[in-house]
Amino acid sequence: MILYRAEENRILELLRNLALEKIIPVTQRAVRAAIGFKYRVRLRDCRARMELALNNSTSIQDVDRELSRYENMVGPMEVLFRFQPPEVARMYDLRHKLQEREELTPILNALLNKDPDRNYVEFADAIYRLDLIKDVPATNDQIKLERTIRAKMKKCVGKRLDQLAVQALDIVNLAAMREVMSLCRLWNFDPKIRYSAKQGSLVTKVNGLMT
């Protein structure tokens, strides 16, 4: 049993509260500074690693590893700082494109043994999907495979553009010629070398209109 006087106890409690009002803010500032410093260090490290991954990663596993590292190191602190670096969104976008490339690889392998003239739609769809992820890093095997498919498609497109160009020139259809020239630029194909001087001059005229 402890005996004390109420008046003296109130004075001691008042002194304690006054002391806490001075000590607690100082402690809080120190803790906030320590947490902020740790957050900056972790954020800077994660952003640097993600930037490196954005430029060099060729597999989903590499991206997932860096995203998981970010979530473990910085994720819990986002409740306090409410900031997400732009690299995170770019990493998720890269992951989506790498997933697309992985899904395209077996499709491109299957196209190796197919005739692009008879399977034009499949080739065109594959090329379209490749164009959407052309800025994504790829392995040497993937690059070689893509170049092979594009080369086969270009030969097929060349034949088709020749036919379209001849038809457009025969009827002197300016709209059709413009469409042909647009496709020629898309595939880096020049039909002028295949025509007579008269036809070539018409193509040159259309080419001038398109520039």
Instruction: Please report, for residues 40, 53, 107, 108, 202, the alpha-carbon distance to residue 137 in angstroms, rounded to integers and kept in the order given.
Output: 29, 10, 18, 17, 41
pLDDT for 48 equals: 93
- 211 or 181: which leads in pLDDT: 181
CB-based contact 21:60 (threshold 8 Å):
no
Average pLDDT over all residues of the chain: 76
d(CA 111, CA 149): 7
Helical axes 6-56 vs 86-111, angle rounded to 10°? 30
23-55 residue pLDDT tens: 777 777 888 888 889 989 999 999 999 999 998
The answer to whether residue 208 scores a pLDDT higher than 50 is no
Note whether residue 24 is domain-resident. Answer: yes
The residue segments making up the domain with residue 64 are 1-84
Backbone φ, ψ for residue 195 (5° rounding): -115, 165
pLDDT for 186 equals: 56
149-201 residue pLDDT tens: 888 877 776 565 555 555 555 555 555 556 556 655 555 555 543 444 444 44
Which residues 6+ apart lie within 8 Å of 203 measured at CB? 165, 169, 177, 181, 191, 192, 195
d(CA 48, CA 41): 11
Note whether residue 67 is domain-resident. Answer: yes
pLDDT for 95 equals: 93
80-103 residue pLDDT tens: 888 889 999 999 999 999 999 989
* SS3 label, residue 101: helix
Note whether residue 179 is domain-resident. Answer: no
pLDDT grade, residue 123 (50/70/90)?
confident
Q: What is the pTM of this model?
A: 0.61
Note whether residue 148 is domain-resident. Answer: no
pLDDT for 193 equals: 39
Note whether residue 45 is domain-resident. Answer: yes
The answer to whether residue 130 scores a pLDDT higher than 50 is yes
pLDDT grade, residue 211 (50/70/90)?
very low
d(CA 128, CA 80): 43
Provide the number of structural domains found in the chain: 1
- List strand residue ranges (DSSP E) for the chain, in order: none
The backbone region for 49, taken as left when phi is positive above 0, alpha when psi lies in -120 to 50, beta otherwise, is: alpha
pLDDT for 196 equals: 42
Note whether residue 10 is domain-resident. Answer: yes
Note whether residue 9 is domain-resident. Answer: yes
